[in-house]
Structure 1
Amino acid sequence: MDLESLTPTDRLIAERACERLIVELVHRLDLGRPETVAELFTPDGVWEWPAGDRRVEGREALRRYFGGRPADRLSRRLCTNILVTLTSPTTATATSYLTTYRVDGHTGGLLPPRPPTQVGHYEDAFQRRDGEWLLAHRTLFLAFGGPTERLGRAERG
């Protein structure tokens, strides 16, 4: 089967499955299940940041990496402008924009607004394996970035 033989409905379903992975990933990171992010990747999946010369490869390494997130970290990621392109019936690519708000040292409560910690975009590659779409490769490109703020005593809930 080639790309041209897919029906419009098949294309939409594949594109939506890839979009769903992008959204599911940020939900898991921000809403308390970061160690499960690795399940969204292929067993040999990669997450990398070329500008920081960082690369995490393989599901077990990804599980350790995301599971090592500070317990007192509060973050919210906004992913927008998600553009998925099918490259074959079992592969796709996507570009999505991100804005990350993040602090460490959070113990609860509402915080005053802050500027974002990161603004940039992701470039993703997806593979369909055993009927399931998974992330095969995610690359982060930052246009703006800074250190994660650590809250002082007065700001802790």
Structure 2
Amino acid sequence: MVTEALGPTDRLIAERACERLITEFVHKLDLGEPGEVAELFTEDGVWEWAEGDRRIQGRDALRSYFGSRPADRLSRRICTNVLVTLTSAATATATTYFTTYRVDGHTGGFMPPRAPTQVGHYEDTFLKVDGRWLLSSRSLFLAFAGPTERLEAVDKP
């Protein structure tokens, strides 16, 4: 195996660094500044949907793409079944299942429960650059999907 040269501690550290990137990605989209997702990618990193023609490449393009998400969007992504596989001391792959809950037009407060907007999985490749693990590509595969609900504006007295 390519990664046999790594000791068990180094292997765990590398796997954990990749898992952390997966978590940071959804935290930045849901709770932080979406445009900052670009900093988790290599300079020439790629985000793509397996079906369709949505492919974004490079940090500037990624920053613009993720930063253009609607300001009134409320979303929460739940990631599970994360499986990171080291392919060398500086490369790895991962598959992660995700469920996305999302509405646009949110003006504050909690929302009554809704069905998920998306259920699918990510397929990631990682590269260690200057001692830091980064996403080099992320592909999104949807098993279930629907439109993002837009909440009706509420008239305030």
- TM-score normalised to structure 2 length: 0.96
**Aligned 8 A contact 1:111 1:155 in 2:** no
Return the alpha-carbon distance in structure 2 between the equivalents of residues 87 and 142 of structure 1. 25
**Identical aligned residues as a percent:** 74
Structure 1 residue runs of 4 or more that deviate by more than 2 Å after TM superposition? 153-156
- Is 1:123–2:123 an aligned residue pair? yes
**Shift in Å at residue 15 of structure 1?**
0.1
1:25 aligned counterpart, secondary structure: helix
Aligned residue number for residue 45 of structure 2: 45
Aligned residue number for residue 147 of structure 1: 147
**Aligned 8 A contact 1:47 1:137 in 2:** yes
The count of aligned residue pairs is 155
**Aligned 8 A contact 1:102 1:149 in 2:** yes
**Shift in Å at residue 155 of structure 1?**
10
Aligned residue number for residue 66 of structure 2: 66
Aligned residue number for residue 55 of structure 1: 55
Q: Which amino acid aligns with 1:36?
A: E
Superposed, 1:91-106 pairs within 5 Å as 91-106=91-106
- TM-score normalised to structure 1 length: 0.96
Return the alpha-carbon distance in structure 2 between the equivalents of residues 108 and 50 of structure 1. 33
**Aligned 8 A contact 1:48 1:55 in 2:** yes
The Cα offsets for residues 92-129 of structure 1, whole Å up to 9 and x where unpaired, read as 00000000000000010111100000000000000001
Structure 1: runs of 5+ lacking an equivalent: none
CA RMSD of aligned residues (A): 1.4
Return the alpha-carbon distance in structure 2 between the equivalents of residues 15 and 110 of structure 1. 35
Aligned residue number for residue 15 of structure 1: 15
1:36 aligned counterpart, secondary structure: helix
Q: Which amino acid aligns with 2:135?
A: L
The Cα offsets for residues 63-108 of structure 1, whole Å up to 9 and x where unpaired, read as 0001101000000000100000000000000000000000000010
